[in-house]
């Protein structure tokens, strides 16, 4: 009976670990180092779908307000699109513990990582920051650790300095080009045409050549496999002890 109880506990614990998301507090410089680009965005639309594996996913479509170390090729119809697990599809809701939350028209700062020509949130929810003002200055506030005294928030000015340092960018002013939203001719807009600036990517700045890196298990929090290994070892030890105890009782 003792073995059955221990096995049941092992199953429950591993199940909870698999569906829970644990995050390791990373210093800001480490977070930037692990990312490849960054953007300030505003959420415009969402679309829920099922992928080829049958998983419910939500596609977020963002307007890019500012970009750092980011390429125009990463935009789809001038929008940044990121897909993440979870959402409601055909009356079925899939909830992923620890997944980042976005609200329509919300402005956010995102640290991104490119893998196989596609952008993802770097370190999952750790890569999302709310934009708030403190004492009249813009700050990026962590989605995961907002109250942490060390990594809860960072001023926009300091974050830009970190990005300059880690990505070897010598200039961080995005290019601004005019964008015609309604016109019979791009070269000669009509009288009712609205012309507004679109901040493009900083793709012509001096920087060191990018280094290729091997990436596996991207987006899986750093504790995950360690936690699994710990619980498997712990309960294996309990089984071993129970086995010895049962053998001793039988021999007596």
Residue range 191-244, pLDDT digits in tens: 444 444 444 444 444 444 433 333 333 344 444 445 555 555 555 656 556 565
- Do residue 212 and residue 232 come from a single domain? no
Least confident of 24-38, 123-137, 179-193: 179-193
Kindly tell me if the per-residue pLDDT of 187 is higher than 80.
no
Question: CA-CA distance, 201 to 199, in Å (whole number)?
Answer: 7
Answer whether residue 105 is part of any domain. yes
Residue 5: give the domain boundaries: 1-22+224-245
- pLDDT of 11 reads 39
**CB 10, CB 235: distance < 8 Å:** yes
- Do residue 126 and residue 233 come from a single domain? no
State pLDDT tens for residues 131-167: 999 999 999 999 999 999 999 999 999 999 999 999 9
User: Phi and psi at residue 115, in whole multiples of 5°?
Assistant: -130, 125
Question: CA-CA distance, 134 to 155, in Å (whole number)?
Answer: 9
State pLDDT tens for residues 49-94: 999 999 999 999 999 999 999 988 899 999 999 999 999 999 999 9
- Do residue 106 and residue 18 come from a single domain? no
- Do residue 78 and residue 120 come from a single domain? yes
Q: What is the 3-state secondary structure (H, E, C) of the chain?
A: CHHHHHHHHHHHHHHHHHHCCCCCCCCHHHHHHHCCEEEEEEEEEEEEEECCCCCEEEEEEEEEEEEECCCHHHCECCEEEEEEECEEECCEEECCCCCCCCCCCCEEEEEEEEECCEEEECCHHHHEEEEEEECCEEEEEECCCCCCCCCCEEEHHHHHHHHHHHHCCCCCCCCEEEEECCCCCCCCCCCCCCEEEEECCCCCCCCCCCCCCCCCCCCCCCCHHHHHHHHHHHHHHHHHHHHHHHHHHHHC
- Do residue 179 and residue 157 come from a single domain? yes
Answer whether residue 58 is part of any domain. yes
User: How many domains, the chain?
Assistant: 2
- Do residue 114 and residue 8 come from a single domain? no
Answer whether residue 250 is part of any domain. no
């Amino acid at each position: 009976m003792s073995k059955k109880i221990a096995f049941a506990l092992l199953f429950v614990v591993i199940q909870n670990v698999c569906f829970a998301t644990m995050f390791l507090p990373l210093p800001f410089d480490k977070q930037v180092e692990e990312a490849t680009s960054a953007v300030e965005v505003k959420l415009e639309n969402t679309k829920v779908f099922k992928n080829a594996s049958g998983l419910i996913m939500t596609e977020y479509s963002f307007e890019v307000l500012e970009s750092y170390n980011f390429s125009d090729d990463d935009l789809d119809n001038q929008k940044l699109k990121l897909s993440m697990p979870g959402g409601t599809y055909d009356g079925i809701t899939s909830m992923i513990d620890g997944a980042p939350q976005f609200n329509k028209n919300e402005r956010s700062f995102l640290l991104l990582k490119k893998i196989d020509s596609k952008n993802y949130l770097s370190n999952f929810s750790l890569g999302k920051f709310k934009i708030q003002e403190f004492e009249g200055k813009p700050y990026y506030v962590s989605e995961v650790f907002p109250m942490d005294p060390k990594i809860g928030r960072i001023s926009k000015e300091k974050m830009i300095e970190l990005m300059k340092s880690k990505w070897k960018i010598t200039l961080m002013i995005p290019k601004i080009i005019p964008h015609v939203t309604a016109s019979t001719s791009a070269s000669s807009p009509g009288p009712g045409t609205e012309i507004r600036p679109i901040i493009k990517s900083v793709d012509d700045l001096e920087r060191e050549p990018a280094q290729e890196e091997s990436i596996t298990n991207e987006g899986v929090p750093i504790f995950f496999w360690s936690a699994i290994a710990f619980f498997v070892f712990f309960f294996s030890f309990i089984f071993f002890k129970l086995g010895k105890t049962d053998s001793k009782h039988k021999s007596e």
